[in-house]
Amino acid sequence: MKQAMKWMLAILAMITVLCCTALPAFAEEAAAAPETAVAAEATQAAAKEADSEANVKTTKAIAAGAVLAIVATAGAIGMALAICKSNDGIARQPEAAGSIRTSMMLGLVFIETAIIYALIVAILIIFVL
- pTM of this prediction exceeds 0.85: no
* CA–CA dist 61, 114 (Å, integer): 20
Question: Going residue by residue through the chain (129 aa), what tens digit of pLDDT does each one get?
Answer: 677 767 766 776 667 766 666 656 555 544 444 456 666 666 777 777 777 777 888 888 888 888 888 999 999 999 999 999 999 999 999 999 999 999 999 999 999 999 999 889 888 888 887
Residue 113 pLDDT: 93
Return phi, psi of residue 29, to 5°: -80, 150
What residues contact residue 71 under an 8 Å CB cut-off, 6+ apart? Answer: 114, 115, 118
Structural domains for the chain:
75-129 (1.20.20.10)
